[in-house]
Amino acid sequence: DAGVIQSPRHEVTEMGQEVTLRCKPISGHDYLFWYRQTMMRGLELLIYFNNNVPIDDSGMPEDRFSAKMPNASFSTLKIQPSEPRDSAVYFCASSLLGTQYFGPGTRLLVL
Amino acid sequence: AQSVTQLDSHVSVSEGTPVLLRCNYSSSYSPSLFWYVQHPNKGLQLLLKYTSAATLVKGINGFEAEFKKSETSFHLTKPSAHMSDAAEYFCVVSVRRSNYQLIWGAGTKLIIKP
pLDDT at A66 over 80: yes
* A109–B contact, CB cutoff 8 A: no
CA–CA dist B102, B34 (Å, integer): 9
Q: What is the reported pLDDT for A21?
A: 98
Chain B residues whose CB is inside 8 A of the A56 CB are: 99, 101
Select the residue of A31, A91, A98 nearest B32 (Cβ to Cβ). Answer: A98
CA–CA dist B96, A22 (Å, integer): 27
pLDDT band at B97 (very low <50, low <70, confident <90, very high): low
3-state secondary structure of B87: strand
On the question of a cis peptide bond just before residue A8, with omega within 30 degrees of 0, the verdict is: yes
Distance in Å, alpha carbon of B29 to nearest chain A alpha carbon? 14
Mean pLDDT of A50-68: 93
Contacts of residue B100, defined as CB under 8 A and 6 or more positions apart, other chains included, come to A31, A95, A97, A98, A100, B94
A18 vs B54: which has the higher pLDDT: A18
Average pLDDT, chain A: 94
- Select the highest-mean-pLDDT range: A56-65, B11-20, B63-72, B97-106: B11-20
Contacts of residue B3, defined as CB under 8 A and 6 or more positions apart, other chains included, come to B25, B26, B27, B93, B103
